[in-house]
Amino acid sequence: MRKAQQDLVLMVQLQGLYDEISAALLVRRTAPPEVEDLQRANRERQVELEKLEEVVAAHEVELRKTRKREEECRLELDHFQKQKGMVTNEREFTAVISEIDFASKELELAKKRREELEEALKTAQDDIVERRQARPEEEAAQKQITAEWERTKDELRQKVHDLAVRAKALEEDLNPKHRGRFLRLLESKRGTAMSAVVEDCCSLCHFSLRPHLQQRVRRCEEIITCEHCHRILYLEEVLSGDAD
């Protein structure tokens, strides 16, 4: 096999290894849907719990004020009830009755609001208790899924290491000039230095090769790059020995 062809074969193999490395790194950086769903659900539950705790705190503040207001209204009503028996004329009687009616209505409103707040507070507190009791099971499920994901990441880390070792070994067998060219393209072309020729076109940028360039790629006596995207070109059938 000619040296240029040998290096092309090595570079195609290298490209495959670097593609595998890129794919493994992408998977490792991207948590699977079940992990993302679990994390999102956990964040949502935490937000809901915090909102419930805020509601409870607000209800407790208002409840203290309402109870105080209810007690004040009850004292006022008791006061005017006593005043009722001490009036000496109709005008005073009418005024006391008016105060009693007002105090009675205010007391009823305060009592009603207090009962509403107590019910709402109990509902919110029960909801918080229920959510907190469910947390151990949710956390256990999360730990299990997270642990599985961490194991997968460890496996991917080892896979990347093994692929990188293989890639370095192949790089050592390359002509230094070709190796440097390949690595520069790998960096500048976002991880893809090689492009197969398909139907006389660069398979990546779809630039049509001129006839004489097609022949040079087919002869495989030198490293040929695409005139448009500058990636290294090769023919699968030539490298595999299936060409006519």
Q: Which CATH number is 168's domain given?
A: 1.10.287
Burial label for 194, CB within 10 Å (0-12, 13-18, 19+), is buried
Give yes or no: residues 140 and 188 share one domain.
Answer: no
Give yes or no: residues 220 and 143 share one domain.
Answer: no
Of the three residues 113, 146, 172, the one that is the final residue of a domain is 172
- Using alpha carbons, select from 118, 163, 143, 124 the residue that is nearest to residue 19: 163
**Per residue in 49-80, is it b (16+ CB within 10 Å) or e — as a string?**
eeebeebbeebeebbeebbebbeebbebbeeb
Give yes or no: residues 190 and 142 share one domain.
Answer: no
Give yes or no: residues 14 and 81 share one domain.
Answer: no
Q: Quote the pLDDT of residue 2.
A: 64
Q: Break the chain down into helix, strand, coil percent, rounded to 5.
A: 80, 5, 15
Q: Is the dihedral of CA 120, 122, 125, 127 positive or negative?
A: negative
Give yes or no: residues 91 and 190 share one domain.
Answer: no
Q: How far apart are CA 210 and CA 11, in angstroms?
A: 23
Give yes or no: residues 182 and 109 share one domain.
Answer: no
Give yes or no: residues 180 and 160 share one domain.
Answer: no
In a structure prediction context, what are the per-residue pLDDT tens digits for the chain, which is 244 residues long?
Answer: 468 999 999 999 999 999 999 999 999 998 888 888 888 888 888 899 999 999 999 999 999 999 999 999 999 999 999 988 888 889 999 999 999 999 999 999 999 999 999 999 999 999 999 888 877 777 777 788 888 989 999 999 999 999 999 999 999 999 999 999 999 999 999 999 999 999 999 999 999 999 999 999 999 999 999 999 999 999 999 888 655 4
Give yes or no: residues 155 and 38 share one domain.
Answer: yes
Q: Quote the pLDDT of residue 244.
A: 46
Domain count within the chain = 2
Give yes or no: residues 50 and 67 share one domain.
Answer: yes
Q: Quote the pLDDT of residue 120.
A: 96
Q: Which domain holds residue 19?
A: 3-25+173-240
Instruction: Beginning with the edge strand found earlier in the chain, give each strand of the sheet holding 201-202 in spatial order.
Output: 201-202, 194-198, 232-234
Give yes or no: residues 63 and 137 share one domain.
Answer: yes
CA angle 189, 195, 232 (to 5 degrees): 75
Q: Quote the pLDDT of residue 98.
A: 94
Of the three residues 172, 201, 227, the one that is the final residue of a domain is 172
Give yes or no: residues 93 and 179 share one domain.
Answer: no
Q: What is the CATH number of the domain that holds 184?
A: 1.10.287.1490
Of the three residues 138, 172, 206, the one that is the final residue of a domain is 172
Q: Parallel, antiparallel, or unpaired: how do β-strands 194-198 and 232-234 relate?
A: parallel
Q: Quote the pLDDT of residue 167.
A: 97
- Using alpha carbons, select from 12, 21, 19 the residue that is nearest to residue 159: 21
Give yes or no: residues 216 and 101 share one domain.
Answer: no
Q: How far apart are CA 72 and CA 61, in angstroms?
A: 17
